[in-house]
């Protein structure tokens, strides 16, 4: 938003045009008024200078409104005091007063009103020998009162429009901040999902490639088995990445379709432009402050259905198939009666198990693992234990704590908790508790909120 005292190129051109028009009217009108009045001094060079002083000063009315008002007031007072006769010299005075009262300081502008009134009703008329009567004094006072009322009304209207524009700008910035926050959350979710999809497969590929290189000359049959496992893991990883990218692209397309068009910024003409350029005020509808363009939102299209199954702890053997194929011995224990878990919780539990076993294959070569799933009425508890490694760990070029951080964030996002650390007897343990009732209630509420209430009549 441009400050009131800093004109742009358009306003400068408008002020120059306004000054020229006022100068023409005051000079021609003043000459005609002077010729039509008796017993007044004929216009000379100084009189024309006084007629042009106010209009020339109007060029700078936005930069120095009070100084322009003083120049116009002095020119009008001297013009009348020299008995050049009444005429349109007051036009520049009226415009400069309104400008100063609207965009300048009222505390400096309004005290000039009684000063100008006294100037017009007492010293000037007596100097030229034409004292004013009561009706003339009342008429001058009434005109000054009208000018003050108009100036104050425009100033208040301008303040209302500026406050409204500031609220719109604040709302726009808040919306942009929310969009940026959502985009950041989406980026974090995508990064976590990519880690979950790729880390497991790439870790198995790394382990199996090390085995293949080690056994290539001595035991080619086992090396071939390791290479086959690498091929399977890489193929599955590519398929999972493809599905994830398709989902991301679908979300990007639907989000782009939902973007709203920019509101029409074309300035209106006629009275609105005149009103704005004269007094630096915007009327309703300018720049989309009040009558903005309607937003057109396209309904987002659903993402294509995944072509690979979503990981689930309902099928532990299938979930652990690739880990076992990599040579990690994994035992499973299920305590309690397995129940159907909310989908978000089910996927999170499966990802935690996968990530824990990926860490076992990467950081504890030769170690065995035990996955324990305990179902209770309140939660599902996961425990992934591994024994001490029996082979030296390969040198890793990736950080080892990102996986634990991601698992902990998943658990916390669902209202649960996760701990990870070494066991007293050796090895490592990852333990997670994911609340079932909270997630079940949330998912149920979400489904109920998306379905219409058949008992409530719909509005037409």
Give the mean model confidence (pLDDT) for residues 274-299.
Answer: 44
Helix (H, G, I), strand (E, B) or coil at 414: coil
Under a CB-based contact definition with an 8 Å cutoff, are residues 45 and 104 in contact?
Answer: no
**408: closest CA among 334, 350, 348?**
348
The per-residue pLDDT for 251 is 56
> Residue 401 has what pLDDT?
58
Query: pTM for this structure?
Result: 0.44
Q: Which of 394, 373, 371, 374 minimizes the C-alpha distance to 384?
A: 371
Report the C-alpha gap between 379 and 341 in whole angstroms: 10
Distance between first and last Cα of the chain: 42
User: What integer pLDDT is reported at residue 298 of this predicted model?
Assistant: 40
Residue 418 backbone phi and psi in degrees, to 5: -145, 135
Confidence of residue 331 (pLDDT cuts 50, 70, 90): very high
* Residue 62 φ/ψ, nearest 5 degrees: -80, -30
Residue 216 predicted with pLDDT over 90:
no
418 contacts 359 by C-beta, under 8 angstroms: no
Does the structure show a pLDDT above 60 at 3?
A: no
pLDDT (0 to 100) of residue 395: 55
Can you tell me the distance from the alpha carbon of 278 to that of 98, in angstroms, rounded to the nearest whole number? 9
Q: Please give the pLDDT value at position 275.
A: 45
What pLDDT was estimated at residue 250?
Answer: 61
- Long-range pairs for 300-306: beta carbons < 8 A, 24 or more residues apart: 300/251, 300/254, 300/255, 300/257, 300/258, 301/250, 301/253, 301/254, 301/257, 302/250, 303/246, 303/247, 303/250, 303/251, 304/246, 304/247, 304/250, 306/243, 306/247
pLDDT band at 321; cut points 50, 70, 90: confident
Q: What does the pLDDT read at residue 208?
A: 72
Torsions phi, psi of 44, nearest 5? Answer: -120, -170
The phi and psi torsions of 296 (rounded to 5 degrees) equal: -110, 115
Query: Given this model, what pLDDT does residue 284 score?
Result: 44
Give pLDDT, residue 341: 86
The dihedral over CA atoms of 286, 291, 293, 298, expressed in degrees to the nearest 10, equals 150
pLDDT at 304 over 90: no
Looking at the predicted structure, is the pLDDT value of residue 115 above 90?
no
Q: Render 57-101 in DSSP notation, one character per residue.
A: HGGGTTT-HHHHHHHHHHHHHHHHHTT--S-TTHHHHHHHHHHHH
pLDDT per residue as tens digits for the range 218-239: 777 777 877 877 777 777 777 7
Residue 89 or 440, more confident: 89
Mean pLDDT of 5-23: 85
- pLDDT of residue 126 exceeding 90, the answer is no
Task: Determine the average pLDDT of the residues in 119-140.
Answer: 76
Q: Which two tokens stand for residue 249?
A: 């692209």
Output the DSSP codes for 428-446: EEEEEEEEHHHHHHHHHHH
- The three-class DSSP label of residue 418 is strand
| Band (104; pLDDT cuts 50, 70, 90) | confident
Give CA angle at 365 (348, 239), nearest 5°.
45
Angle at 403 between CA 213 and CA 320, to 5 degrees: 60
Query: In angstroms, rounded to a whole number, what is the distance separating the alpha carbons of residues 123 and 439?
Result: 87
Report the pLDDT value the prediction gives residue 450, as an integer from 0 to 100. 42
Domain boundaries, the chain: 9-132, 179-305, 309-391+399-451
Pair of tokens at residue 243? 């599905």
For 314, other C-beta atoms within 10 Å of its C-beta total: 13
Taken in order 205, 211, 214, 219, the sign of the CA dihedral is: negative
* Of the listed ranges 68-77, 86-95, 266-275, 346-355, the one predicted with least confidence: 266-275
Grouping H, G, I as helix, E, B as strand and the rest as coil, residue 386 is strand
Higher pLDDT, 337 or 273: 337
The mean pLDDT of 432-447, rounded to a whole number, is 66
The share of the chain scoring above pLDDT 70, in percent, equals 73
Least confident of 1-10, 38-47, 143-152: 1-10
pLDDT digits (tens, 9 = 90+) for 133-167: 778 778 888 888 998 899 889 999 999 999 999 99
| pLDDT bucket at 309, cuts 50 / 70 / 90 | low
The DSSP output letter for 308 is: S
The CATH number that domain 309-391+399-451 falls under is 3.30.565.10
pLDDT of residue 112: 85
- Quote the pLDDT of residue 249: 62
Of residues 108 and 118, the one with the higher pLDDT is 108
Report the chain's mean pLDDT, rounded to a whole number.
77
Q: Which two tokens stand for residue 318?
A: 């299938």
Strand, coil or helix: 190: helix
pLDDT at 427: 92
Residue 196, pLDDT above cutoff 70: no
Residues 258 and 255: their CA atoms lie apart, in Å, by 5
DSSP codes of every residue in 237-306: HHHHHHHHHHHHHHHHHHHHHTPPPPPP-PPP-THHHHHHHHHT-PPTTGGGSSSPPPP--PPPPPPPPP
Q: Of 199-208, 270-279, 364-373, which range is least confident?
A: 270-279
Compute the distance between CA of residue 153 and CA of residue 162 in angstroms, rounded to an integer.
14
pLDDT at 267: 42
Longest CA span, the chain: 129
């Amino acid at each position: 938003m441009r400050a009131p005292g800093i004109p742009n190129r358009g306003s400068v051109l408008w002020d120059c045009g306004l000054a020229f028009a006022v100068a023409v009217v005051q000079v021609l009108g003043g000459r005609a008024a002077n010729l039509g009045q008796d017993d007044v001094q004929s216009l000379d060079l100084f009189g024309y200078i006084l007629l042009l002083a106010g209009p020339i000063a109007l060029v700078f009315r936005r930069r120095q409104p009070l100084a322009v008002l003083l120049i116009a007031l002095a020119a009008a007072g001297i013009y009348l005091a020299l008995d050049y006769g009444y005429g349109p010299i007051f036009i520049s005075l009226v415009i400069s007063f309104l400008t100063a009262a609207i965009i300048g300081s009222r505390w400096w502008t309004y005290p000039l009103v009684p000063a100008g009134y006294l100037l017009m009703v007492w010293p000037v008329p007596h100097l030229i020998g034409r004292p004013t009567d009561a009706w003339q004094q009342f008429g001058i006072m009434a005109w000054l009162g009208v000018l003050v009322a108009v100036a104050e009304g425009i100033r208040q209207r301008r303040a209302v429009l500026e406050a409204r524009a500031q609220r719109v700008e604040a709302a726009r910035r808040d919306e942009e901040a929310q969009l940026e926050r959502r985009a950041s959350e989406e980026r974090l979710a995508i990064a976590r999902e990519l880690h979950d999809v790729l880390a497991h497969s790439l870790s198995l590929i790394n382990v199996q490639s090390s085995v293949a290189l080690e056994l290539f000359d001595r035991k080619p049959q086992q090396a071939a088995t390791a290479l086959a496992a690498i091929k399977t893991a890489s193929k599955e990883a590519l398929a999972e990445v493809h599905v994830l990218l398709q989902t991301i692209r679908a979300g990007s397309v639907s989000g782009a379709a939902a973007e709203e068009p920019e509101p029409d910024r074309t300035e209106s003409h006629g009275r609105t432009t005149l009103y704005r350029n004269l007094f630096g005020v915007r009327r309703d509808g300018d720049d989309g402050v009040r009558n903005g363009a309607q937003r057109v939102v396209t309904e987002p299209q659903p993402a294509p259905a995944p072509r690979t199954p979503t990981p689930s702890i309902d099928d532990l053997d299938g979930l652990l198939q690739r880990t076992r194929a990599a040579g990690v011995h994994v035992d499973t224990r299920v305590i309690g009666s397995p129940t159907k878990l909310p989908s978000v919780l089910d996927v999170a539990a499966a990802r935690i198990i996968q990530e824990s076993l990926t860490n076992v294959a990467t950081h504890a070569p030769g170690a065995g693992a035990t996955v324990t799933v305990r179902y209770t009425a309140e939660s599902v508890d996961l425990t992934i234990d591994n024994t001490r490694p029996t082979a030296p760990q390969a040198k890793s070029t990736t950080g080892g704590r990102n996986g634990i951080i991601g698992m902990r964030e998943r658990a916390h996002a669902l209202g649960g908790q996760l701990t990870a650390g070494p066991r007293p007897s050796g090895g490592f343990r990852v333990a997670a508790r994911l609340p079932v009732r909270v997630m079940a209630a949330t998912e149920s509420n979400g489904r109920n909120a998306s379905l219409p209430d058949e008992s409530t009549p719909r509005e037409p």
